[in-house]
Amino acid sequence: MPRGGDPRFGPDADDSGCPILHVDMDAFFASVEVRRRPELRGRPVVVGGLGPRGVVSSASYEARRYGVRSAMPIMRARALCPDAVYLPPDFTQYTAASRAVMQIFRDFTPLVEPLSLDEAFLDVAGARRLFGPPAAIARLIRERVAAEQGLTCSVGVAPSKFVAKLGSTRAKPDGLLVVPAGRVLEFLHPLPVAALWGVGERAAEALRRLGLNTIGDLAEAPLGMLRRAVGEASATHLHELAWGRDPRRVSPEHVEKSIGAEVTFDADVADSLEIRRALLALAEKVGARLRRAGQVGRTVSLKVRLTDFRTVNRSRTLAVPTDTAREVFDTVWALYTALDPGDRIRLVGVRVEGLAGAAGAPRQLTLGAPERGWREAEAAADAAAARFGRSVIGPASLLGGRDVRRNENPRRP
């Protein structure tokens, strides 16, 4: 359904019974870069990893005309659009822009549920008296984001979260789409099955093999047929969505279940010193994110992807929760040496799970450690990084300048 192509779902459609907004920033990372560099306006801009194994994080609409899409290998993007401007991501800038945009949302309603840096659900049922009906609130939000942040966003207005998200997708770029409560099935049923949440490429292909090409086809299909195609739980979930039933409320408290980071090497690595350095940098990144979020976690996980794309995961649960890079690194390095993969490595990742609030969490000093120790040192490094930039605070400095080769288990191809 092309943007603006059907007046039944245009910005002036009946929005009574449509308290849910889904706001999605347009080509967010690329748009922030263009805002910083106005000379790039009108040119194709691609943000992502610039190495041979990099992936596109964001592409301006000028780049999308050449077929460039998010999650595409950067080398494929360069082949499609060699004249684009290619930039590495700057998450400090994107996070600052996201905070400013989310604050605009919260000026209209406290019921804001961020899904990522560039999108959120809003429940504006309680804001009608101050700001008017939902579509009017959506217009005000779009106007303020454009005027105050120099960015554009697309908004879906609907009775439920699922339909509102579909609406914002079909309003892009820089548009507004309203799905009236009485027309939800008219909107949903012509759409392809791949538009349903939870339907990836494999599931969509399985459904199409059964002749279920649209959401309407799926809605009319017997549940038994769906169960055979996608399993019991997914069949029920998709059947409900296909009939427009999504009872989930906007939840302003988003609780992280885990915090992690990973890196894909430009070339497969067998040198344990290089792997150790990568794990050290990842542990520092995860520790800093934990402290910023005010979280600690008890389970530390290691992810290793080998040259043949096999992925191995190992984890260890600590006696007490942690938010220090030193403890995270010591744990993942012990997991790695015990794993002894014996093959070249494509990717490593570090993750901390089982999160809880840091305030009041039990802490256990390492034997012989001073009363004020590693956590305080890392918190001081966080403050210095906030002022001068993370690049001046290297991972080794956070771990007391320890030789990263300590306890190295040398392996060679």
Q: Which token pair is 302?
A: 């290691």
> Quick one: DSSP state of residue 214?
B
- Answer whether residue 226 is part of any domain: yes
- Would you say the C-alpha torsion 116, 121, 127, 132 has a positive or negative sign? positive
Q: Is 46 among the domain residues?
A: yes
Residues 299 and 385 in one domain: yes
Which are the catalytic amino acids? 119
Helix (H) or strand (E) holding 48: strand 45-48
CATH of the domain at 10: 3.30.70.270
Sequence letter at residue 212 = L
Q: Which residues of the chain have pLDDT under 50?
A: 1-4, 365-372, 388-390, 392-393, 395-413
Q: Identify whether residues 138 and 47 lie together within a single domain.
A: yes
| 174 and 206 housed in the same domain | no
Please report, for the domain that includes residue 210, its CATH number.
1.10.150.20
Burial of 234 (0-12, 13-18, 19+ CB in 10 A): middle
Residue-level pLDDT at 367:
40
The answer on 169 and 46 residing in a single domain is yes
Residue 37 falls inside a structural domain: yes
Q: Are residues 267 and 373 in the same domain?
A: yes
Residue 46 and residue 126 share a domain = yes
* Same domain flag for 98 and 153: yes
325 within some domain: yes
Three-state secondary structure call for residue 199: coil
Tokens of 273: 């010193």
Please tell me the predicted confidence (pLDDT) of residue 198. Answer: 79
- Residue 407: inside a domain: no
| Model-wide pTM > 0.85 | no
To the nearest whole percent, how much of the chain has pLDDT over 90?
A: 65
Task: Note whether 238 and 296 are same-domain residues.
Answer: no
Residue 412 included in any domain: no
Output the domain CATH number for residue 286: 3.30.1490.100
Binding-site residue ranges: 24, 118
Residue that finishes a domain, picked among 135, 157, 180: 180
Contact, 167 vs 9, CB < 8 A? yes
Looking at the fold, whether 304 and 357 belong to one and the same domain comes out as: yes
**What are 38's two structure tokens?**
């106005």
Task: Looking at the structure, tell me whether residues 35 and 145 fall in a common domain.
Answer: yes
Beta strands at 119-123 and 20-25: parallel, antiparallel or unpaired: antiparallel
67 and 120 inside one domain: yes
Torsion-angle region of 365 (φ positive above 0: left; ψ -120 to 50: alpha; else: beta): beta
CA distance 411 to 342: 7
Which of 243, 267, 288 terminates a domain? The answer is: 243
State which of 180, 207, 226 marks the end of a domain.
Answer: 180
Task: Based on the fold, state whether residues 275 and 394 are members of the same structural domain.
Answer: yes
Annotated binding-site ranges for Mg(2+): 24, 118
Residue 12 belongs to domain spanning: 1-180
Is residue 406 situated within a structural domain? no
User: Is residue 371 in a domain?
Assistant: yes
Judged by phi (left if over 0) then psi (alpha if -120 to 50, else beta), residue 346 lies in: alpha
Q: What is the pLDDT of residues 155-174, one digit of tens each?
A: 999 999 999 999 999 999 99
CA distance 317 to 295: 16
Domain count for the chain: 3
C-alpha to C-alpha distance for 249 and 171, rounded to whole angstroms: 22
- Count CA within 13 A, CB hemisphere, residue 99: 5
Cα 364 → chain centroid? 33
pLDDT at 340: 86
Q: How many residues does the chain have?
A: 413
Query: Shortest CA distance to 347 belongs to which of 357, 336, 338?
Result: 336
